[in-house]
Amino acid sequence: MPSEFSLKAIKIMKNIPGGKVVTYGQVATYAGNNRGARQIVRLLNSSWEKEQLPWHRVINSKGKISLTPGDGYELQKMLLENEGIQFDENDLIDLSRFGWNINI
DNA sequence: CAACTGACGATAG
DNA sequence: CCTATCGCCAGTT
């Protein structure tokens, strides 16, 4: 039985529109725990496949991909660019333009 | 049952 | 800008 936090987090992530991204902190806050970023990490690692979550649209608060090159970074960047998201010269995503304003 | 682990965040220096 | 710390908490070891 998943926690209420998990249910909300999953519901939110399943609603992220293409071409937009959200941060761990945002999802955690809207799911009811503004300090639950790590639980979001757990969810993405353990059940993104089962819950069909767009894991690539979840990034850290600086607008940067947290994966390391060679371990999914390239894949995630490619998936995002494929949705129209652009990266600046420092590989950062402009959250003011591509960040999704959650409203469930 | 204690210790450890995370694709993190906020804060302080 | 950078490193160092602490908080958070479910799932593993």
Q: Is the CB of A39 under 7 A from strand B?
A: yes
Q: What is the domain count for chain A?
A: 1
Examine residue A74 and state whether it is found in any structural domain, yes or no.
Answer: yes
Provide the positions of strand C that have an atom within 7 A of a protein CB.
7-12
Residue A104 placed within a domain: no
The answer to whether the beta carbon of residue A13 comes closer than 7 angstroms to any atom of strand B is: no
Angstrom distance (rounded) from CA A24 to CA A35: 10
Crossing angle between the packed helical segments A4-14 and A37-47, to the nearest 10 degrees: 70
Shortest CA to C1' contact from A38: nucleotide: B8
pLDDT band of residue A1 (cuts 50, 70, 90) is low
Integer Cα distance of A61 and A52 in angstroms: 23
Q: Does residue A103 belong to any structural domain of this protein? A: no
Give domain status of residue A10, yes or no: yes
Residue A77 lies inside a defined structural domain of this protein: yes
Output A46-52 pairs: Cβ under 8 A, ≥24 positions apart.
A47/A10, A51/A10, A51/A13, A51/A14, A52/A14
Average pLDDT in chain A: 92
**pLDDT beyond 80 at A22:** yes
Tell whether A17 is covered by a domain: yes
SS3 call for A5: helix
- Length of chain A equals 104
For residue A77, what are the domain limits?
4-97
CATH number of residue A26's parent domain: 1.10.10.10
A61-CA/B5-C1' distance, Å: 21
For the segment A30-58, what is each residue's pLDDT rounded down to a tens digit?
998 888 899 999 999 988 988 999 999 99
